[in-house]
């Protein structure tokens, strides 16, 4: 009530009549919650703060349902009112996509786990898969055939499980890329970077332990590779094999399958739930990282450098409704992919291992690193025999070094003062250049992991491709790191901004031009290889279109990997590359080779 209300005067007179004293002092001034006076009424601001009016009127008033529930359950408390920062790019939603993908993994995995039989003993399959009907097959293989071809919606749910796993890992990786390039891992957000890194590793391990469960040819080949890599670890290799596999593979497959079933269905999902919960708890406890004030839409804050609050929407109901939309879009995407793009067609894979085995895309870079280190090295006429050390160096040591640097990176690049705003990647030359170099290293190692497919399609022996792939592994990441660093430091100097910590590289305009030309030639070479991959199996019309849809996507993805090399190239070279690509696509069918492709992509 205001001072001019007659009820106030009546109340004052009653107080005097009861023996009290009338106070003529004015009432305490109203404030805006931060100590600023000026008749603050909670709707349209009041006294200017930092030279601006605070807009406190809610953009979305509480609806009747929320008000009804709030009156009874007191919903409007601190957690539901936690602000989520505004994000005009949508990159902050990658974490939610990963969370919702995990939910679909749990739902579909529960169905598959109830139907699956983790046994390796021979049984007679009697179902709708005609090529296996009446044959003696392992029990695990037969149960997956039954789920896929004999159970209503079984194939759809199995494909949804696969695609949800792909999206789950991809969303985590993209989320970490966003955090890295925007500098959102710095003080005080290092704990969540560490937790997120563990989450990514657990997701990869969960995917690997699901490999062996169908017990088809692909599963046996992938599990054998993983078993041998684990045994290559010095001193503790056999102990790790027993811990991870529960026995020797494939000789003790009857022990390995139930062991990996337990890890895949019970232990690792429980660990993932705990890590995801810890990740979200830290997120709720800390102030959420938000975009820098310069990138926001409009003037939404009292001061551009004020990080005492978050500009955004409350968890409920605004962010909750947005999350529901993301959940439905994630479900629609997984359902669409599961229905139209089936993967892991177990009846077609069979029980025989493929001639050129290769893992799923998220392990391809590890497989490439494994193949990069041969058992014997010939240097200057001297042969160096590595033996089992080759598997340890390529499959364990190199990936561990890469992953280790990723985990401890916040300890390498950090600040003493808390940082609550993201940073433009273009303003961080050294960090952005290293990130681009790491991405290119992953791409090149993945290409080496597909060396068998390359050699079969191109018609060149794998030994012929090996030295070029080794050169690519060292040259491409280094060239792109240097080029991006030079480009960004020149941009910073042109804008009159500090280049930040890092090594000052001497360079000239001529050197930069030659570096651009070298990268262009390199990119065109990869582009030619990509075109050969597409057209090397007869012609575009007769062979490429005759492949299953999912294999067409894999071919195009490999061509796209070559196109990624064109990103830092100036526009004139990019235009030239596209023209040459068009010419190559026009004349390539005339020089196409006979059909030849690997057993499995």
* pLDDT tens column, 193-229: 999 999 999 999 999 999 889 999 989 988 999 999 9
Report the pLDDT value the prediction gives residue 415, as an integer from 0 to 100.
Answer: 83
Q: Over 90: is that where the pLDDT of 112 sits?
A: yes
Cα(145)–Cα(180) distance, integer angstroms: 42
Q: Tokens 């500009």 appear where? A: 311
pLDDT at 466: 84
pLDDT in tens, 295-315: 555 545 545 455 566 677 777
The radius of gyration of the chain's CA atoms, rounded to the nearest angstrom, is 30
Question: Tell me, what's the pLDDT at 132?
Answer: 92
Residue with the bigger pLDDT between 52 and 329: it is: 329
Q: φ and ψ at 467, to 5 degrees?
A: -60, -35
Residue 437: is its pLDDT beyond 70? yes
Q: Rounded CA gap, 354 and 360, in Å?
A: 14
Asked whether the beta carbons of 362 and 165 are under 8 A apart, the reply is no
Residue 268: its pLDDT value, please?
96
Between these two residues, 473 and 59, which has the higher pLDDT value? 473
Q: How confident is the model at residue 448 (pLDDT cuts 50, 70, 90)?
A: confident
Confidence of residue 509 (pLDDT cuts 50, 70, 90): low
Domains of the chain listed by start with CATH number: 91-288+316-352 (1.20.810.10), 424-601 (no CATH)
Give tens-digit pLDDT for 165-187.
Answer: 999 999 999 999 999 998 989 88
> Cis peptide leading into 93, omega within 30 of 0?
no
Q: What is the pLDDT of residues 333-369, one digit of tens each?
A: 999 999 988 888 888 888 888 777 778 889 999 999 9
Rounded CA separation 198/282 (Å) = 14
pLDDT at 4 over 80: no
For residue 13, the tally of other CB atoms under 10 A from its CB is 11
- Between CA 175 and CA 190 the distance in angstroms is 15
The pLDDT tens digits for 67-103 are: 777 777 766 566 666 777 777 777 888 999 999 999 9
Give 591: exposed, middle or buried? Use CB within 10 Å, 0-12, 13-18, 19+.
Answer: exposed
Tell me which of 42 and 101 has the higher pLDDT: 101
pLDDT-derived band at 330 (thresholds 50, 70, 90) equals very high
Report strand pairing: 382-385 vs 136-138.
Answer: unpaired
pLDDT at 255 (0 to 100):
94
Which residue has better confidence, 317 or 599?
A: 317
pLDDT at 519: 60
> What band does 514 get if pLDDT is binned at 50, 70 and 90?
low
The HSE-up count of residue 523 (CA atoms within 13 Å, CB side) is: 27
Show Cβ contacts of residue 253 under 8 Å, excluding neighbours closer than 6 positions: 120, 138, 215, 247
Token duo for residue 501: 């910590």
% of the chain exceeding 90 in pLDDT:
35
Please answer whether residues 450 and 559 qualify as being in contact, where contact means their C-beta atoms are separated by less than 8 angstroms: no
Structure tokens at 236: 């503790």
Give, in degrees to the nearest 5, the angle at Cα 210 between 207 and 213.
165
116, pLDDT greater than 90: yes
Alpha-carbon dihedral angle through residues 193, 199, 203, 208, given to the nearest 10 degrees: 90
Give the pLDDT confidence of 246-279 residue by residue, as tens digits.
Answer: 999 989 999 999 999 999 999 999 999 999 999 9
Predicted local confidence at residue 524, as pLDDT? 57
- Mean pLDDT to the nearest integer, 115-138: 92
Who has greater pLDDT, 479 or 97? 97
Report pLDDT for 202: 96
| Cβ 43 vs Cβ 56: under 8 Å | yes
Distance from C-alpha of 330 to C-alpha of 96, rounded to nearest angstrom: 10
pLDDT at 105: 96
Give strand pairing partners of 137.
123
Residue 558, pLDDT > 80, answer: no
d(CA 291, CA 236): 46
CB 253 within 8 A of CB 244: no
pLDDT digits (tens, 9 = 90+) for 384-399: 777 778 889 999 999 9
Contact 372, 445 (CB under 8 A): yes
Does residue 513 carry a pLDDT above 80? no
- Among 89-93, 286-290, 433-437, 567-571, whose mean pLDDT is lowest? 567-571
């Amino acid at each position: 009530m205001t001072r001019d209300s007659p009820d106030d005067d009546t109340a004052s007179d009653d107080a005097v009549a009861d023996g009290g004293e009338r106070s003529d002092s004015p009432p305490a001034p109203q404030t805006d919650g931060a100590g600023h006076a000026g008749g603050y009424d909670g709707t349209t601001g009041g006294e200017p703060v930092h030279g601006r009016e605070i807009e406190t009127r809610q953009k979305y008033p509480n609806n009747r349902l929320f008000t009804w529930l709030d009156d009874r359950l007191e919903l409007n408390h601190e957690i539901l009112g936690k602000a989520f920062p505004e994000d005009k790019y949508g990159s902050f939603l990658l974490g939610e996509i990963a969370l919702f993908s995990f939910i679909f993994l749990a739902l579909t995995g529960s169905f598959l786990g109830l139907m699956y039989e983790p046994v390796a003993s021979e049984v007679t399959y009697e179902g709708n898969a005609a090529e296996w009907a009446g044959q003696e097959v392992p029990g695990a293989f037969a149960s997956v055939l039954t789920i896929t071809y004999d159970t209503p919606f079984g194939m759809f749910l199995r494909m949804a499980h696969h695609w949800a796993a792909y999206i789950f890992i991809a969303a985590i990786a993209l989320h970490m890329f966003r955090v890295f390039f925007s500098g959102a891992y710095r003080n005080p957000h290092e704990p969540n970077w560490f937790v997120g890194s563990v989450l990514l590793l657990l997701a990869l391990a969960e995917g690997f332990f699901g490999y062996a469960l169908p017990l088809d040819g692909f599963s046996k080949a992938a599990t054998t590779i993983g078993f041998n890599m684990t045994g290559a670890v010095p001193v503790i290799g056999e102990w790790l094999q027993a811990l991870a596999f529960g026995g020797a593979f494939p000789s003790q497959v009857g022990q390995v399958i139930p062991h990996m079933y337990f890890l895949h269905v019970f232990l690792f999902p429980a660990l993932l739930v705990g890590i995801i919960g810890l990740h979200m708890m830290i997120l709720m406890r800390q102030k959420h990282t938000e975009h820098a004030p310069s990138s926001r839409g409009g003037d939404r804050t009292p001061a551009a450098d004020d990080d005492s609050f978050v500009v955004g929407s409350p968890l409920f109901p605004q962010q909750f409704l947005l999350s529901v939309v993301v959940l439905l879009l994630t479900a629609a995407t997984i359902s669409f992919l599961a229905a139209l793009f089936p993967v892991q067609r177990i009846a077609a894979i069979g029980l025989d291992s493929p001639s050129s085995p290769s893992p799923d895309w998220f392990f391809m870079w590890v497989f490439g690193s494994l193949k990069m280190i041969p058992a014997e090295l010939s240097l200057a006429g001297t042969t160096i025999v590595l033996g089992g050390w080759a598997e340890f160096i390529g499959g364990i040591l190199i990936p561990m070094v890469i992953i280790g640097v990723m985990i401890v990176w916040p300890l390498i690049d950090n600040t003493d003062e808390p940082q609550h705003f993201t940073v433009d990647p273009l303003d961080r030359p050294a960090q952005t250049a290293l990130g681009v170099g790491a991405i290119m290293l992953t791409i090149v190692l993945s290409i080496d992991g597909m060396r068998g497919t390359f050699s079969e399609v191109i018609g060149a022996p794998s030994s012929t491709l090996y030295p070029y792939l080794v050169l690519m592994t060292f040259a491409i990441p280094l060239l792109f790191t240097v080029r991006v660093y030079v480009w960004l430091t020149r941009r910073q100097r042109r804008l009159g901004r500090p280049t930040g910590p890092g090594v000052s590289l001497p360079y000239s305009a001529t050197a930069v031009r030659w570096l651009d030309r070298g990268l262009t030639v390199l990119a065109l070479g990869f582009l030619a290889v990509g075109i050969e991959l597409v057209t090397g199996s007869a012609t575009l019309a007769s062979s490429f279109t005759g492949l299953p849809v999912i294999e067409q996507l894999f071919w195009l993805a490999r061509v796209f990997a070559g196109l990624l090399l064109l990103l830092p190239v100036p526009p004139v070279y990019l235009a030239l590359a596209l023209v040459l690509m068009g010419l190559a696509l026009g004349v390539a069918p005339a020089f196409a080779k006979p059909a030849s492709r690997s057993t499995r992509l």
